[in-house]
Amino acid sequence: MPSRLNYISRKRSNNKKYYLNLKYPEIPLSIDDLYITTTVGDRLDTLSNEFLGDVDLWWIITTANPDIIRRDSFNLKPGIEIRIPNNIQGILEAFEALNK
């Protein structure tokens, strides 16, 4: 899977380069979603590697848990329950469609 950063649009205005924000898809609840309770030392990148198979897919876990996980940190507090979506292919297709 190509990096999500490949989808960042670059623009020029008055000889200044700037980047447009990425858009993330809504991730609906599914009966196949996995719920886990975090432990000491859990990080978004290690959880995404363990459950999604790719460390770069950490943003899927944060998007699926908007009121629980802060987007500015990889570290997670122990003892919180988070949802890990199962329909990864559908989420990636929706992401690509939003950021064409």
H-helix or E-strand spanning residue 10: strand 10-13
Task: Please count the structural domains in the chain.
Answer: 1
pLDDT of residue 83: 97
The pTM is what?
0.81
Longest C-alpha distance within the chain, in Å? 50
pLDDT of residue 25: 94
Q: Supply the mean pLDDT for the chain.
A: 87
Helices (H) and strands (E) in the chain, counts: 3, 4
pLDDT of residue 19: 73
Q: Is 38 part of a structural domain of the chain? A: yes
Q: Is 5 part of a structural domain of the chain? A: no
Q: Is 17 part of a structural domain of the chain? A: no
Q: Is 10 part of a structural domain of the chain? A: no
Q: Is 23 part of a structural domain of the chain? A: no
Question: CA distances (Å), 93 to each of 4, 30, 42, 46, in order?
Answer: 12, 17, 27, 23
Q: Is 75 part of a structural domain of the chain? A: yes
* 44-66 mean pLDDT: 94
Q: What is the domain range of residue 62?
A: 32-87
Q: How many residues does the chain have?
A: 100
Paired tokens of 90: 């559908």
Q: Is 48 part of a structural domain of the chain? A: yes
* 39-54 mean pLDDT: 95
H-helix or E-strand spanning residue 11: strand 10-13
Closest CA relative to residue 8, chosen from 24, 26, 25: 24
Q: Tell me, what CATH number does 68's domain have?
A: 3.10.350.10
Q: Is 26 part of a structural domain of the chain? A: no
